Amino acid sequence: MSTLVELQQRLGYHFRDESLLRLALTHPSVAHENAVASPHNQRLEFLGDSLLGLVLSHALYQKTPGADEGALTQSRAKLVNARSLSGHGRALDLGSHLILSRGEEHTGGRERPSALADAFEALLGAVFLDGGFEAARAVILREFSLKIGESDGMTGIENPKGELQELLQSRSPHAPEYQLVGVSGAAHAQDFECAVLHGGVELARGRGKSKKIAESEAAVAALQKLRGPSGSQL
């Protein structure tokens, strides 16, 4: 495994117990490959996911005092969806540091979005155990500062599914339909992908930590597409 010094520099946090960092980078495939039980990063991922939700919820609450619960939920969902989290993992170059089974290595596990997203959340959990809540909070706010700054624009669509239905039914008698097209990830941290269709034609797709969030993300993407320069007709 390559040196972890540069990773800690990019993260802006240096571990006192580097074994926690290594655990955060250990993919569950390692346990499946070994004959005996072997520790991996899923427990840390669970912890990091909870920390992320708390810190970002508080930041959005302070940033957007006029936003209601629905708008805050949508804003948070955009920050913590699978695409966003894998992007943070990729920016930190977590892929080059992952500890994988041989099979996962040979099938492109270092670049797998779900592996990068899970390792990023596990890394946050490891920071919390190593340095406490304030250390983890500081890392999260540094990582998400720009996106939190854009949150005013993110709360513009408070009820994307309702707005999409209203828009589509103003143009035709058909209501949008949502289909679950994929589920990935561990049982406690699944990533859902949903498509929204109209008249049998797929308009867009969305991802999220729940089917409801994935459907809302799909609706947001469809609204952006339909309201864009070329979206004036169905």
Burial 182-211 (b: 16+ CB within 10 A, else e): eeebeeebebbbbbbbbeeeebbbbbbbee
Order the strands of the 201-208 sheet from edge to edge.
177-184, 191-198, 201-208
Q: What are the DSSP calls for 53-112, one per residue?
A: HHHHHHHHHHH-TT--HHHHHHHHHHHHSHHHHHHHHHHTTGGGG-B--HHHHHTTGGG-
Task: Quote the pTM value.
Answer: 0.66
Tens digits of residue pLDDT in 77-126: 888 988 889 999 999 999 999 998 888 888 888 888 999 999 999 999 99
Containing H/E element for 196?
Answer: strand 191-198
Residues catalogued as catalytic:
49, 121
Q: What is the per-residue pLDDT for 155?
A: 41
Low-confidence residues of the chain: pLDDT under 70: 1-2, 34-36, 149-158, 188-189, 228-234
Tens digits of residue pLDDT in 71-86: 788 888 888 988 889 9
